[in-house]
Amino acid sequence: MAGYRGAFLTAAAMVACLVAPQSGLGAAAGSGFRVTSSAFEDGGILTAKQAADDPMRMCGGQNVSPPLQWSNVPVGTKSFAIVLLDPDGLLGQGVVHWIAYGIPGNVTSFAEGEMTKQSEKFVGGKGTRDNAMYIGPCPPVGDALHHYVFTLIATDLEPSALKAGLTRDELYTAIRGHAKGGTSIVGRYAR
């Protein structure tokens, strides 16, 4: 439980840093902005279906991205960004599994598998493995459950404002002062 709380607090701190300069954390937290998935509950277990299918690492998954839905979008939102982080990966240094942004403000969901392929609905960033699309979990065999934090950030940036291929740090720099609110959901996985 402490690991789950730590992963959530890490994601919450990152979102707070982005949102606080714009509107104050209290305003973002009170808005009811929420991301959910029909594939797992917050803090629930991801399945092998969502795990990576990397044959070199024998992950054993199908790399099907889970469906995500969000509601109570902050007023003034023009686009969204999503960061999928495993803070337990790389021996606690973290692994960025997916970065997407330029998601139009009228989009409120991704269907199962939709984040695994190129789409007009998002601009791909650059994850730890130089990936622009979803790569599912593949923690080392025998590790404790890893926490996969899907963080959704509402921004006042136009969907076309940012170039493709931004890293997490570059994305956070680009949206600083433009974040309208943030919300996260955590899925856990082990092999």
Q: Where are the domains of the chain?
A: 2-189
For residue 24, pLDDT over 80 is answered with: no
Backbone angles phi, psi at 179, to 5 degrees: -75, 135
3-state secondary structure of 13: helix
Q: CA dist 133 to 19, 63, 65, 113, Å?
A: 25, 11, 10, 11
- Smallest CA-to-CA distance from 68 within 5, 121, 125 is with 121
- 88: which residues sit within 8 A by CB, 6+ positions away? 3, 7, 94, 139, 143, 144, 146, 147
Q: 32-81: per-residue pLDDT in tens?
A: 999 999 999 999 999 999 999 988 889 999 999 999 999 999 999 999 99
The fold adopted by the segment(s) 2-189 is Phosphatidylethanolamine-binding Protein (3.90.280)
Question: Lowest mean pLDDT: which of 1-10, 105-114, 136-145?
Answer: 1-10
- Smallest CA-to-CA distance from 181 within 71, 35, 74 is with 74
CA separation for the pair 68, 85 (Å, rounded):
15
Predicted local confidence at residue 25, as pLDDT: 33
| pTM for the structure as a whole | 0.85
Q: Please give the mean pLDDT across all residues of the chain.
A: 88
